[in-house]
Structure 1
Amino acid sequence: MSRNNAHPGTDPGKHWRQETLLLHQDAHLATDTSVVAPIHYSATFRADTPEEFAEMANTPRHPGFYSRYGNPVHKRVEAVIAALEGTETALLTASGMGAISTTVLGLVKQGDHVIAQRRHYMSTSKLFEEVLPRFGVASTIVDQTDLDELAAAIRPETRLIMVETPVNPTLTLTDLAAVATLARARGILTIADNTFASPLNQKPHDLGIDIVVHSATKYFGGHHDITAGAVCCSEELAEKIWSMHVTLGSVLSPMDAWLLLRGLRTLSLRMERINANALALAQWLETHPAVERVYYPGLASHPQHELARRQMSGYGAVIAFSLKGGFQAGTRFVSALRLATHAVSLGGVETLAVHTAAMWAGTMTEEQMISAGIEPNFIRMSVGVEHIDDLKADLAQALEPDPAGI
């Protein structure tokens, strides 16, 4: 069966809406009549002639040569994610940090300079502050809310600016369009971690960002059952990053790629409920007497709410809030939850909550936590798709005063 006839009428260039492209954007890549994409669980693929083998071996990102180079199910997932982000292509990795590390290492060399924002995901910060300097790549860390500080940090040898918005875990925002304009005028590449927003809520590439990275473990997978990463960019940049990807070997297994594709099919349905639940819960928490402060870009009280409205169409799953009563109040709260699960990660169907200071106390110094904005009484919650009334009831009972007064 020819590829052209595998899904009659499919046009991958058609301007479908997001809900539709999640289901059909990869259909032109089908090689049989299966409604559901098959899992190509093979590490290596056969060539029928020496000429075909040579073509396979020398084609970057070939989906039918060796699974470290590419796999047919990878191609289908990449087609969907690239369409969501509005980029020419996408590249899958085995984790979100695999996507970030492979991208950065694939684009810099000894003597280069990079800029990162002060508040990043912890492992991203370590890459810039501890790993890159070991290989002769200088890093400058700036306050991402201060464009003048960012501009002042640029050097002639600056090659990359890395941003993340909203930031984990404080939900501080970065002005993507402003950063992109500043960098592009100077020939500097920009990378944005869009994990906390998802492309259904925010499209950094449309705002001028060159490369968009994701922990696909989160919203894309959506069920807390895989780890995966994605890099979205131009074909030219993807080939450079892929070359490093093949060397480092952060390869997503065919089974996890297939689960990721299945998760993507329902992304729009899940995000609609997650966005609604999180906003309603954030508004409710603001009125609760046990809560000191709520951080959520969708709230009018968020200091960057106007920026959120400009660059986001929805505000995502993650709510951060501080409790009255200090560190012990945070510990008691997560221990008292009955419906929400005390676990890391975000973006899945179940609601998860963590006491942030307790989670990172073993890997960050007190100074690093202060710099990251992590207060002792800080809670990070990823809101799921449960009924909002059940979520409110669970949080209400967990926020009740301790009868022992502890």
Structure 2
Amino acid sequence: MTSTTVPALELLTTPQGIANPYPLYDRLRDLSPVPGYRDWPPGTVPGADEPVTAWALFRYDQVFQAARDSATFSSRDPLQEASSAPSLMLVNTDPPAHEVERKLVSQAFSPRRVKRLEGWLGELVPRLLDALGAGEVEVMEFAAEIPTRAMVRLLGLPDGDHVRFRRWANAFMLSSSLTPEERIASNEEMVGVFAERLAEHTALLAERAPGDDVEDAEDLISALLRAEVDGQRLTPQEIVRFCVTLVVAGSETTTFLIGNLLHALAREPELTARMRADRTLLNAFVEETMRLDGPPQRLFRIATRDVEVGGKLILEGEWVALFFGAANRDPEVFENPGVLDIDRPNIRQQLSLGHGLHFCLGAALARLEVLAVLNAVLDRYQSIALADDPGTKQTASLLTHAYVRLPLLLS
């Protein structure tokens, strides 16, 4: 890989670039792919692990093709596998293992099981808004409560476990500034707790009488223990890895998405009034906000063969960074890409949930959670506005684009 001195590429990893990468993406898109991007994959430990040096893809067509071609762009992450952090399930798995894992997980993590949370969310969110109150309020703590509590309920864990979920996710996903020792300790605590919970569920499952029909009532961990496809079952280690994946990939990204959606409601009063009158528009609003300000910004892949992209040769074994956040604002695909437009005809082409083999398994759960929030907020507050305080963006890692503190005026 030829080194690069493109200033915009170097600025991407600064706090200012992480907080607002979109102008930099615009400068880099025509140069894509750009060599020499240095950063850490999720789950590694800056200060203990070395950053990778990668080709960076910023154009929609390039990111889309790389995301769908898992044979050429592998999701396996040898750096994370060698790290002290746990390796994620599905996210860092290639075929044929990926298909087997996904079938087993999907059997337990079913649409019906997710749908069962709908009524519970309908009661939880208004209760949390009661506690939030009105006036100038900071909404990110509220935003974090929904996905973490939902994950605890889904997995069948004790009340209170959700308090640690956000801290674990922030540490793993590099969106909080920690020492290497603090990050390693957080990862070890997370894996240890899930191993304990799995042992408890295994013991309870063994006590059930054969033939008991428990599917409608059982939690996700128990369902994962029972899942079987063609005689294959998930190992205890795989179940722990999936629980870790749900926490770090599900709770944090949904928290950040809720924050970005609430900010969009506040800065787009005419659109908010339109959606208040017609809630069928909320799905398009979620899709368009994910395109414009989707939390996931980039993921890494590794080339399994020499491949030409944009007239440049990426060699076998070289790292490749797929910038979904840049692809989602490519003017060749999305007209006026910096404008939130819920009527754009290709609104579902956004890539924040991934594409192809690695399309987000938790997409239905995330949508259920954010729609519960949006409906409850629109029901409760007649006015949703920006405060004078602009809040604070996440500046620790370009993995996500998000607020860590967001004051809004609610009345």
User: Is the structural similarity TM-score above 0.5?
Assistant: no
More helix by share: 2
Please tell me the TM-score bracket, short chain as reference: under 0.3
TM-score (ref. length: structure 2): 0.25
